[in-house]
Amino acid sequence: MTTLLLQLAGPLQSWGTGSRFAYRSTGPAPSKSAVIGLLAAALGKRRSEPIEDLLELRFGVRCDQPGRVVRDFQTARALDESYSLPLTYRFYLSDAVFVVGVEGRRELIEALAEALRRPAFPLFLGRRSCPPARPLVLGTTDQQLVPALESLPWQAAAWYRRTKPAQMELDLIVDAGPEHLANDTMQDEPLSFDPHHRRYALRGVHHGTCGVGNPDARDRHDGSESSVGGVRTASTRRPRQQTSHDPMAWWETR
Amino acid sequence: MSHFLTRIDLNPRRRGTARLLASPHRIHGAVNACFTPSQRPSRPLWRIDRTPAGTRLYVVSDVEPDPTSVLEEYGWPLADSWRTRDYAPVLEAVSEGDVFAFRLTANPVHDALIPPRPGSDRGPRKQRVAHVTATQQLEWFRSRCDGWGVMVTAPGTGVELVDRRVLEFPRQGRTVTVGTATFEGVLQVSEAAELRRRLVEGIGHAKAYGCGLLTLAPVSAVP
C-alpha cells in the first residue's frame, strides 16, 4: 500500500459536515467528504460521476496547527433589490494547518498525486473562497497511513512553533482500521456528490494523538534569566508579583 | 525632626477606591487631606502597594497624619486597619554594612536630547522622558543607587523589577503621564546618612504621584 501526504494550509479553510440553511459551520478538521471531493475535482470528475474508486482510500488527518474559528456575516438582496435573502453566517478556520494522508493502491495514489499537481478543476480548502497557501502535495511514501502521519515532521508555521514547548501532542483522526478501533463515528463518507441527491455514509473513526518534536521551541527556563552575583540580569521581561514586603515589620510581626 | 510611617489598608470593593486608585492626582489629594492646614508636612511621600495581603497606602511624613478622611471614604473606618509609627527606630537602625529588604516605586527618567525641527535655527533641546523598557529601568536603578547610599551588588543582595506601569490621569484639564517601576530586593547600606535622608525625602521625580518612597524591612521578615 502507498500513502499520499497532503498539507492543507491557508489563511482560511472551512470544513462543514452538518450545515443547514443560514448557519454554514466548519468542523475543527478536514472531513473525509471534503478531501475525497478535492481529489475528485483534481481528477476532473463531475459531481454526478461515480466515485467508487476513491472510496477504497483509507483517510486520516493530523491537526498540526488548529487555527481559530472566525465568523463571516453576509447579507444579500435580490438582483432587482426587491427583497432580502436570509442573513447568513459562514464560519472558517483561520491560520490552520492540517496534514492529510490517504492510503490506497500504488497506481491510484500516484495518479492522484499527479492530478493534484495539475488539477482539472480549481482546488480550494472547503469553500471556493479559500485557496490553499502552500502546495498541496507533500509526497508519497510506501508506509501505511498511520506510520506515515506519525513520522512526518511538524508542519505548523514558524511563528506558531516558537510559542510551543519542545514536545507536542497533535490530534490524529483516522479511519478505524486493524490497529485503531473506532471510538467515534462521523457521517462524512461520501457516496455521491450529485447535487440532486448528495449521500453520506457513517464511518468509524479513531481519535488519537501523535507526538512530534518542535525544533523551534523557546524554552523559557533555559537559564536566560541568569543571576550574576545575586543580581538578576536585565533580561527580566515579565515582572513577577509583588511580595508582601511590609515596612511595618519593624514594629510588629504579622 | 521626627518622622512618621503610616500604613492604611484600602478597601478595593468600594467604588470610591477604584476612582481613587485610577488617579495619583486624587491620591495626592487624599494624602494631603490627612494633615491640618496649620500643620502641613514639608513634602509627604506615599506609595500604593498591591500585595497578596491587600491594597495598602504607605505614607512617610514629618507631621503625624490623621487618616480619618481616607478611612471614611476608601477604607474600613471602624476596623483596626491602619497604623502610624514614629520612624525614628528605622532611621536609627540604618548603619553602614547593614542588609535590609526594600521596596521602591520610582519614576525612572532621563534627559533626552530632542533634535530641532527642520529649518529651525535653535539647537537641540533637552526633555525629561521616562525610561520605557525593563532593561532601562533596572539600569537606571543600578546606576543611581550608589548616590542613595545603598549597594545591591554584595553577596546576598540584589534587585528585581516587580511592577511596571504607565499612569495616565487628568489634572486640571490636561493628561499627566507618569511611567513608574517598582523595585524590590535586598540592599546593603553604604552611606547611612545619605540613605536616612533618602528615606524621608524620597528618590527621583513625581513624588507627588506616588513615586520615590523607599521602604526597608528586616531581611528575616521577607519570605
Q: Which residues of B touch A231 (CB under 8 A)?
A: 142, 152-153, 157-159
Mutation target among B86, B135, B136, B145 for the A interface, most CBs of A within 10 A: B135
What CATH number should be reported for the domain holding residue A127?
A: 3.30.70.2660
Residues of chain B found within 8 Å of residue A227, distances taken between Cβ atoms: 158
List CB contacts of B29: < 8 A, sequence separation 6 or more. none
Residue A83 within a domain: no
By three-state DSSP, how is residue B151 classified?
Answer: strand
- A253 assigned to some structural domain: no
Question: Which value does ipTM take for this structure?
Answer: 0.74
For residue B139, the chain A residues in CB contact (below 8 A) are 234
All residues of chain A having their beta carbon less than 8 Å from the beta carbon of residue B135 are: 234-235
Interface list for chain B against chain A, based on CB atoms closer than 8 Å = 5, 7, 49-53, 58, 83, 85, 89-90, 93, 101-103, 134-135, 138-139, 142, 152-164, 182, 184, 186, 215-218, 221-223
Residue A120 pLDDT:
96
The average pLDDT across B64-86 equals 93
pLDDT of residue A243: 66
Structure-block grid coordinates of residue B116 = 530641532
Whether pLDDT at B120 is above 90: no
Whether residue B94 is predicted with pLDDT greater than 50 in this model: the reply is yes
Residue A14 is assigned to a structural domain of this protein? yes
A45: how many CB neighbours lie within 10 A of its CB? Answer: 19
- pLDDT tens, position by position, for chain A (254 residues)? 899 999 999 999 999 888 788 899 999 999 999 999 999 999 999 999 999 999 999 999 999 999 999 999 999 899 998 999 999 999 999 999 999 999 999 999 999 999 999 999 999 999 999 999 999 999 999 999 999 999 999 999 999 998 888 889 999 999 988 777 888 888 899 999 998 888 999 898 999 899 999 988 875 444 333 333 333 333 334 455 566 788 888 887 54
Contacts of A89 (CB under 8 A, 6+ apart): A22, A23, A24, A71, A72, A73, A74
B118 falls in which pLDDT band (50, 70, 90)? confident
Which set of grid coordinates corresponds to residue A128? 471556493
CB contact under 8 Å between A232 and B51, yes or no, is no
Chain A residue nearest residue B82, CA to CA: A248
Structure confidence at residue A57 (pLDDT): 94
Q: What is the pLDDT of residue A238?
A: 47
Q: Which domain holds residue A125?
A: 2-18+26-66+95-213
Please report the pLDDT score of residue B19 as a whole number: 92
DSSP type of residue B198: H
Q: Is the pLDDT of residue B223 over 50?
A: no
> What residue ranges in B41-108 does DSSP mark as E strands?
45-51, 54-61, 82-86, 99-106
One-character DSSP codes across chain A: -EEEEEEEEEEEE---SS-BTTEE---SS--HHHHHHHHHHHHT--TTS--HHHHT-EEEEEEEE--EEEEEEE--B-TTSSSBPPPEEEEEEEEEEEEEEEEE-HHHHHHHHHHHHS-SS---SSSTT---SS-SEEEEESS-HHHHHHHSPP-S-HHHHHTS-SEEEEEEEEE--SSS--SEEEEEEEEE--TTS-EEEEEEEEEEEEEEE-TT---TTSSSS-EETTEEPTT--SPPPP----GGGGT---
Q: Domains of chain B (ranges plus CATH)? A: 4-92 (3.30.70.1200), 95-218 (3.30.70.1210)
Grid coordinates belonging to A117: 499537481
Burial of B77 (0-12, 13-18, 19+ CB in 10 A): middle
- CB contact under 8 Å between A230 and B158, yes or no, is yes
Q: How many domains does chain A have?
A: 1
Distance CA B27, CA B69 (A): 12
- Residue-wise over B170-206: b if at least 16 C-beta within 10 A, else e? eeeeeebebbbbbbbbbbbbbbbebbbebbbebbbbb
Give the model's pLDDT for residue B194: 96
How many Cβ pairs within 8 Å bridge chains A and B? 99
- What's the confidence (pLDDT) of residue A249? 83
Q: Is A133 inside any structural domain? A: yes
Inter-chain touch B161–A227, beta carbons under 8 Å: no
* Shortest alpha-carbon distance between residue B52 and chain A (Å): 6
Distance CA B222, CA A135 (A): 59
Angle between helices A106-117 and A32-43 (to 10 degrees): 70
What is the pLDDT at residue A251? Answer: 83
The per-residue pLDDT for B95 is: 93
Q: Tell me the per-residue pLDDT of B159-202, one tens digit each, with 9 for 90 and over.
A: 999 889 999 999 999 999 999 999 999 999 999 999 999 999 99
Q: From chain B, pick out residues whose CB is under 8 angstroms from the CB of A245.
A: 49, 51, 101-103, 184, 215, 217, 222
Statement: residue B74 has pLDDT above 70 = yes
Residue A75 lies in a domain: no
A219: in domain = no
Of all residues in chain A, the one with the smallest CA distance to B93 is: A250
pLDDT of residue A254: 44
B142 CB neighbours in chain A (<8 A) are: 231
Chain-centroid distance, C-alpha B13: 24
A80 assigned to some structural domain:
no
User: Least CB-CB distance to A244: which of B51, B90, B158?
Assistant: B51
Read off the pLDDT of each residue in B92-114 and give the average, rounded to a whole number.
93
pLDDT for the residue numbered B220 = 67
Q: What would the grid cell of residue A149 be?
A: 502521519
Chain A nearest CA to B20, separation (Å): 20
User: Residue A130 falls within a domain, yes or no?
Assistant: yes
